[in-house]
Amino acid sequence: MLNALRARLHQGHRTLQWPDVPAPVMPERYRGLLAFHPDKCSDACRLCADACPTDAIRPPTGPQGQGFQLDLGACLFCGACEAACPTGALHHTRDWRMAASDRAALHLTGQPLQLAGALDEKLRKLFGRSLKLRQVSAGGCNACEGDASVLTTIGFDIQRFGIDFVASPRHADGLLVTGPVTENMKLALQKTWDAVPAPKIVIAMGACAISGGPYAGHPEVHGGAESVVPVDLWLPGCPPHPLTVLDGLLRMLDRLPAARLKDVMR
């Protein structure tokens, strides 16, 4: 008992201070949101598209990166395109904010990303201070699950925002779906969704749940959560960083302090 108290004192208070303070800086090698510089892109080149394992890149059709598009929802953040690009037109930043409310917003061109917006007022009133989610693992690799459950540890302490994972869909306000939705999980996902009382929301976490990820096109999978349920929040990554998830949730619930909305990251 005394040792437990001593350990408690020694281990200290370890919860992330963000969003009350500016965000922690990621290590140099972290592969976050991709940045595209159209002025450096040549239409004679399609090396990035050829290197991409998930065909997430549509190469430029004209000069100055015209027609170029990178689907962050299919991206595995593997760094292959950055390594293939001879001009530095495409590179990973250390910015982990990339959650979106629209699937189309994940199509990266040269424009700034339209990050997730808040739910409508009715839903915000219902969920803004208490959002209970049922997680459904619909065929992924357990990495998304790993970095979803880490949010409930003292490091992130997601419960301080009133967000938590619950054991039954009957107690839930929505689903957090991971995995590409295998044929063998399709029925279970549908039944879980049906068991959640309305109004309800769906969050698609990770490349698999958004687009099928590395399994896109396999006859064993359905290409993401939206094949079964309507999605309200898209969280790119393979897996998304816990901060990407937390940032997305807080944007959706309109819980980010105004100062954080102005943060700039490179």
> Does 30 engage in binding with other proteins (CB under 8 A)?
yes
Q: Is the peptide bond before 53 cis (omega within 30 degrees of 0)?
A: no
Q: Which is nearer to other proteins, 66 or 153 (CB)?
A: 153
- In terms of residues, how long is the chain? 266
- In whole angstroms, how close is the CB of 114 to other proteins at the nearest point? 25
Exactly one of 43, 45, 46, 51 binds other proteins (CB under 8 A); that residue is 51
Exactly one of 19, 59, 65, 179 binds other proteins (CB under 8 A); that residue is 179
Q: Which is nearer to other proteins, 101 or 182 (CB)?
A: 182
> Does 236 engage in binding with other proteins (CB under 8 A)?
no
> Does 113 engage in binding with other proteins (CB under 8 A)?
no
Residue indicated by tokens 């063998």: 184
- In whole angstroms, how close is the CB of 81 to other proteins at the nearest point? 11
Stretch that binds other proteins, among 35-43, 101-109, 112-120, 208-216 (CB under 8 A): 208-216
Exactly one of 145, 226, 232, 247 binds other proteins (CB under 8 A); that residue is 145
> Does 45 engage in binding with other proteins (CB under 8 A)?
no
Q: Which is nearer to other proteins, 52 or 72 (CB)?
A: 52
The secondary structure of the chain, three-state, reads CHHHHHHHHHHCCCCCCCCCCCCCCCCCCCCCCEEECHHHCCCCCCHHHHHCCCCCEECCCCCCCCCCEEECCCCCCCCHHHHHCCCCCEEECCCCCCCECCCHHHEECCCCCCCCCCCCHHHHHHHCCCEEEEEEECCCCCHHHHHHHHHHCCCCCHHHHCEEECCCHHHCCEEEEECCCEHHHHHHHHHHHHHCCCCCEEEEEHHHHHHCHHHCCCCCECCCHHHCCCCCEEECCCCCCHHHHHHHHHHHCCCCCHHHHCCCCC
Q: Which is nearer to other proteins, 105 or 226 (CB)?
A: 226
> Does 220 engage in binding with other proteins (CB under 8 A)?
yes
> Does 155 engage in binding with other proteins (CB under 8 A)?
yes
Q: Which residues bind other proteins (CB under 8 A)?
A: 3-4, 7-8, 10-11, 14, 26-27, 29-31, 51-54, 76-80, 92, 134-150, 152-155, 165, 167-169, 179-180, 182-185, 188, 192, 213-215, 218-221, 238-239, 241
